[in-house]
Structure 1
Amino acid sequence: MGVFDELQARGLIAQLTNEEKIRELLNNGKVTFYIGFDPTADSLHVGHFVQIMVMAHMQRAGHLPIALFGGGTGMIGDPSGKSDMRKMLTRETIEHNISCFQKQMARLIDFSDGKAIMANNGDWLLNLNYIDFLRDVGVHFSVNRMLTFECYKQRLERGLSFFELNYMLMQSYDFLELNRRYGCVMELGGDDQWSNIIGGVELLRKKEGKEVYGMTFTLLTTSEGKKMGKTEKGAVWLDPEKTSPFDFYQYWRNVDDADVIRCMKILTFLPLEEIAQYEKLEGGELNKAKEVLAFEVTKLIHGEEEAVKAQNAARALFGAGVSADNMPTAAVPASLFESGDAGLLDVLLAAKLIPSKSEGRRLAEQGGLMVDDRKVEGPAERIDRSAFEKGYIHVKKGKKVHLKITIEE
């Protein structure tokens, strides 16, 4: 099976500029392609993971990936999918974020010996002469047409700045530069990037008279169409300091039954024939498939050793006994216990186990909290410092969330 057919069978492909030609190129040739990553945070998150998996599938099939980091476009921010303007970042923050992205991406993409390229669009965007850019690139874009694209249309009611209107021109110019520098003939991205990708394809046709191609892949959503990768604590990050390997594992272990097979196809390299066997499982048997999914995804991001630890910890926690080994840990300040004890909700809030005291009160009143295997009777409970004699307390929230809380001296 060629890589195009593989991506299609896994449900990854969303839109294409020329399906017949792209299928032929990907299945029978060697293509230089790129995917862009704007460094809006100091870690990639699971939304980026789909893009990296596509890049890895393509590389394994012999194609040459360019990972383009937005040292220039990150100074503006993509308005796609956003109801408000993104926060403006400094150059220093952007460069730091890019270095974090590069380390994480190297786990899945082989950048040795020219097998993949890392590029930074700051190299050509930051020193552009604006008048020259408008004459060279801006002349090829119709504002009327741009405003019909979904990425801009949905922002018109809330307000779209001219600052952001430039983003499509800059991303399109990236494609032009990468074609000139590396012979790049294809841009890939999430389906929310379709209009920006079209902009680049058309710019190359108008400026260079070249036919290049664009392909988008499905966004990581649930069967109900909601974006995946969000928890009560926020985004599910690939950085183990921001989302621990245990929490990362648990996120995938707890996906809905309706989503587990699709996630297996999109986020693992398991053969489709093997996934087809898991597709036959129903009801409680699907837990086996969820364990496989969680282990495989955690192994890809954090390595096999961390995946084994997370799996063992999860099995201990949700099996007959509870082991504190490898349980996620949070430290609370010693100042909370100056009087000898502290309010339970204050402790849970400081440990970020609850987003607010009102949520904590609701959980306590409904019997959804346990401390060291004892059900919390009500929200007014207090925790004595002596409860930390063994070095921690074990708090269980609901049926599936466990946390080891320590005191930071």
Structure 2
Amino acid sequence: MNALLDDLTWRGFISTTTDQAALAAHLDEGMVTSYVGFDPTAPSLHIGHLMQLILARRLQQAGHRPLLLVGGATGLIGDPKMTGERVMNTKETVAAWVESLRAQVSRFVSFEGENASQVVNNLDWTASLSALDFLRDIGKHFSVNRMLARDVVARRLNEGISYTEFSYVLLQSLDYAALHERYGCTLQTGAQDQWGNITAGIDYIRRTTGDVVHGLVTPLLTKTDGTKFGKTEGGAVWIDPERTSPYAFHQFWLNAEDAKVIDYLKIFSDRTRDEIDDLAAQTREAPAKRAAQRALANDVTDLVHGVEARRSAEDAAAALFGRGDLRALDERTLTAVMTEVGAAELPRDDGRLPLVVDALVASGAVPSKSAARRAIAEGGAYLNNQKVTDTEARLDEDDLLAGRYALVRRGKRTVGGVILP
């Protein structure tokens, strides 16, 4: 097997390929141009997209040229989803999101050297395409019977699917053909749910040019219970630091399950087999130390947000449990920490700052005022990591971090926060 495919297989990147032996031979011939597409359905990508970006990055590191397509055209239509018709966004909104995603995807590849990457927009070759040309030159090559057999279409038929979403596969097939013609692209990659779209594009190219091109899809990542990886109670984990702070991002990876953390390391980290095998051994022998989770969180946060942001996230986590200085954290990181602990707003008491007892209750660190007083009396209550000894103690202005936050803690691990107006 081709060395790259062998490594991708070991790391868990490959679910299905059109013909793995033929693809291996093709990759051995020299630089291959590949592409992966991202539709602007939001102003940011989330970590569900990260596997595709890292695959493109690995292809480039192996000497191949990845094209990153941001769908200014397909984003106006929407790939059919199982749950129902997508809401169409305005052209202006989609155009703005295209630029946002263009900046995001550009951070994961290099634009220098013989195999320099390029970001492309499918609106460039579809905007001037007339409806008649679309039907004659593209639609003629697609069987409705085959389109109806697609899993997502078959499931949607009972509740209804618009012609707009039904025809999405034609647009994506046109993308592959356009990139094949313009850049010599011969490999499309994507998530497992894109297999039907990818094979349709391969068939379209074969029908119109006779050329053989390839496809590779990655598996769906899941948690141990079978649910989709990449979601939290608050929703998606975004790449944009304004939507998911580097602190929350780092915490997400730190919380990876022992049973899955090595799988995630293989995919999302550049660590070698020996390094990952060593972390796997540490996880088996001393799971409480969470060495693999720390390596994973650090590697992914470094990649997405940079080393400085990762260090700030680590400093915040340490300060949260008394192992660092809360006052050394910048306001943005403090805000992220307070969001993560679910800080509650706490009004002033007749113009005065509230009692520490009230802060403990409002934050959820204790269930009642009596429990708060008991925690203080027993020496287990903290305000900004400083032990509180007086049950009648009141916050003062010097206690407010960034002028409005206070962190309270009961014992070693029960942490909460309050926000003062």
Q: How does 1:47-126 map to 2 (within 5 A)?
A: 47-80=48-81, 82-112=82-112, 115-126=116-127
Percent identity between the aligned chains? 38
Counterpart of 1:214?
A: 215
Counterpart in the other structure of 1:351: none
**Scaled by the length of structure 2, what TM-score is found?**
0.81
Change (3 A) 1:58 1:87: same
For residue 269 of structure 1, give the secondary structure of its aligned residue in structure 2: coil
Equivalent residue runs for 1:362-373 within 5 Å = 364=367, 372=383
Equivalent position of 1:377 in the other structure: none
Residues 257/20 of structure 1: CA separation in 2 closer, same or farther (3 Å cut): same
Structure 2 Cα separation of the partners of residues 237 and 396 of structure 1? 29
In structure 2, the residue matched to 1:394 is 407
Query: Residues 34 and 389 of structure 1: is their aligned pair in 2 closer, same or farther, counting only changes over 3 Å?
Result: closer
Secondary structure of the equivalent of 1:39?
Answer: coil
Q: Per the alignment, in what secondary structure is the counterpart of residue 147 of structure 1? A: helix
Match of 1:44 in 2: 45
* Unmatched tracts of structure 2, length 5 or more: 372-380, 386-393
Aligned amino acid, residue 292 of structure 1: A
> Does the Cα contact within 8 Å between 2:40 and 2:98 map onto a contact in 1?
yes
Give CA-to-partner distance per residue, 1:86-136, whole Å, 9 cap, x none. Answer: 221122211211221122222221123560111100111222111221111
Contact between 1:244 and 1:328, CA under 8 Å: does it hold in 2? no
Name the stretch that deviates more: 270-279 or 320-329.
320-329
Q: Is the 8 A contact 2:202 2:215 kept in 1?
A: yes
Partner secondary structure for residue 119 of structure 2: strand
Query: 2:70·2:98 contact (CA, 8 Å) conserved in 1?
Result: yes
Task: Indicate how the Cα distance of structure 1 residues 194 and 173 shifts in structure 2: closer, same or farther if over 3 A, else same.
Answer: same
**Cα distance in structure 2, aligned partners of 1:30 and 1:245:** 35
Match for residue 175 of structure 2? 174
After TM superposition, give the deviation of residue 253 of structure 1 in Å.
Answer: 0.3
CA distance in 1, matches of 2:296, 2:191: 22
1:260 touches 1:290 (CA, 8 Å); kept in 2?
Answer: yes
Question: Structure 1 residues 362, 313: closer, same or farther in 2, change over 3 A?
Answer: closer
Give the TM-score taking structure 1 as reference length.
0.83
Whether the 8 Å contact between 2:365 and 2:416 is mirrored in structure 1 is: no
Which stretch of structure 1 is more off in the superposition, 121-130 or 393-402? Answer: 393-402
Displacement of 1:153 after TM fit? 2.3
Is the 8 Å Cα contact of residues 247 and 328 (structure 1) preserved in structure 2? Answer: no
Measure, in 2, the Cα distance between the counterparts of 1:128 and 1:342.
65
* Contact map agreement 1:4 1:27 (CA 8 A) in 2: no
Q: How does 1:157-306 map to 2 (within 5 A)?
A: 157-281=158-282, 282=284, 283-285=286-288, 287-306=290-309
* Partner residue of 1:313 out of 316, 319, 322: 316
Larger Rg computed on CA atoms: 2
**Which stretch of the first structure deviates more once superposed, 261-270 or 102-111?**
102-111
What one-letter code is carried by the residue in structure 2 that aligns with 1:251?
A: F
How has the CA–CA distance of structure 1 residues 191 and 389 changed in structure 2, closer, same or farther, with 3 Å as cutoff?
Answer: closer
1:331-389 Cα shifts (integer Å, max 9, x gaps): 9999966975999xxx99xxxxxxxx9xx999958x9xx99479xxxxxxxx9997964
CA–CA separation in structure 2 for the residues paired with 1:149 and 1:339: 65
- With over 3 angstroms needed to count, the CA separation of the structure-2 counterparts of 1:217 and 1:319, relative to structure 1, is farther
Against the structure 1 CA distance between its residues 402 and 59, is the aligned structure 2 distance closer, same or farther, given a 3 Å change threshold? farther
CA contact (8 A) 1:15 1:217 kept: yes
User: For 2:271 and 2:172, how far apart are their aligned partners in 1?
Assistant: 33
**Aligned with 1:135: secondary structure?**
helix
Q: Is the 8 A contact 1:2 1:26 kept in 2?
A: no
Counterpart residue type for residue 393 of structure 1? A
Aligned pairs for 1:4-19 (under 5 A) are: 4-19=5-20
Give the Cα separation in 2 of the matches to 1:204 and 1:172: 8
- The alpha carbon displacement at 1:400 in A equals 7.4
Q: Deviations over 1:62-91 (max 9, x none)?
A: 1111101100000011114x4022221122
Q: Distance in 2 between matches of 1:312 and 1:197?
A: 44
- CA gap of 1:333–1:228, structure 2 versus 1, over 3 A, is closer
2:135 corresponds to which residue?
134
Shift of 1:319: 6.2
Measure how far apart 1:323 and its partner are.
3.2
Distance 1:222 1:235 in 2: 14
RMSD across aligned C-alpha pairs, in angstroms? 3.5
Which residue pairs with 1:144 in the alignment? 145
- Kindly state the Cα deviation for residue 309 of structure 1 after the two structures are TM-superposed: 1.9
Maintained 8 Å contact 1:246/1:328: no
Q: SS at 2:326's partner residue?
A: coil
User: Offset of 1:324 from its aligned partner?
Assistant: 5.3
Post-superposition CA distance 1:120-177 (Å, at most 9, x none)? 0011122211122111111121222222222222322332111100100100111111
Please report how far the alpha carbon of residue 318 of structure 1 lies from its aligned counterpart in structure 2 after TM superposition. Answer: 4.2
Q: Per the alignment, in what secondary structure is the counterpart of residue 106 of structure 1? A: helix
Within 2, Cα distance between the matches of 1:164 and 1:320? 53
Q: Which amino acid aligns with 1:153?
A: A
Q: CA deviation at 1:180?
A: 1.0
> Which runs of 5 or more residues in structure 1 are unaligned?
349-356, 375-382
Question: 1:257·1:286 contact (CA, 8 Å) conserved in 2?
Answer: no
